[in-house]
Amino acid sequence: MDLLDFYTNAPLLELGAEADRVRREKHPRNIVTFIVDRNINYTNVCVADCGFCAFYRRPKHAEGWTLSYEDIGRKIDEAKAVGAVQILMQGGHNPYIPFEWYLDLLRYIKTNHPPSGDENLGHHDVRHRRDARRAH
């Protein structure tokens, strides 16, 4: 079987069934683990224009928003209260948020909501921020 061809062209359900078959073959004890985490969307303002996305709003749109550090902190506490061990910070590519905002956010989280697991920024968010900073 040409795996790349199968991965690229197989109907989604067929691909999922095959992935499940391989998983069962590799892990016959059928033990599946998971963690509780929370994906915090800190802004819906974005310039990436992904065609599938119904979440984002272009800059200056009346429905655009960015959470305050306090709002983000509340969401972290809510997640921890139900056993979350990982927080993922994921937002739009918001040109109004300076790189320092992210650094201050991490300081705020470290001070006010000390990590008990991992705190992650989506890599595309970090790259966007880094590139925006270099452009200024």
At 83 the three-state DSSP class reads coil
Longest dimension (CA), the chain: 54
- Taking the C-alpha atoms of residue 97 and residue 133, their distance in angstroms, rounded to an integer, is 10
Nearer to ligand SF4, 59 or 115 (CB): 59
CB of 62 to ligand SF4, least distance (A): 17
Q: How far is the CB of 47 from ligand SF4 (least distance, A)?
A: 8
Minimum CB distance to ligand SF4, residue 44 (Å):
7
Report the residue number, 71 or 77, with the smaller CB distance to ligand SF4.
71
The least distance separating ligand SF4 from the CB of residue 10, rounded to whole angstroms, comes to 24
For residue 6, CA distances in Å to 3, 19, 21, 25, 42 come to 5, 11, 14, 18, 37
E-strand ranges in 48-97 read 86-89
Q: Which is nearer to ligand SF4, 35 or 48 (CB)?
A: 48
Nearer to ligand SF4, 7 or 55 (CB): 55
Whole-angstrom distance, CA of residue 41 vs CA of residue 91: 5
Q: Which residues contact ligand SF4 (rule: CB under 6 A)?
A: 46, 48-50, 53, 55-56, 92-93
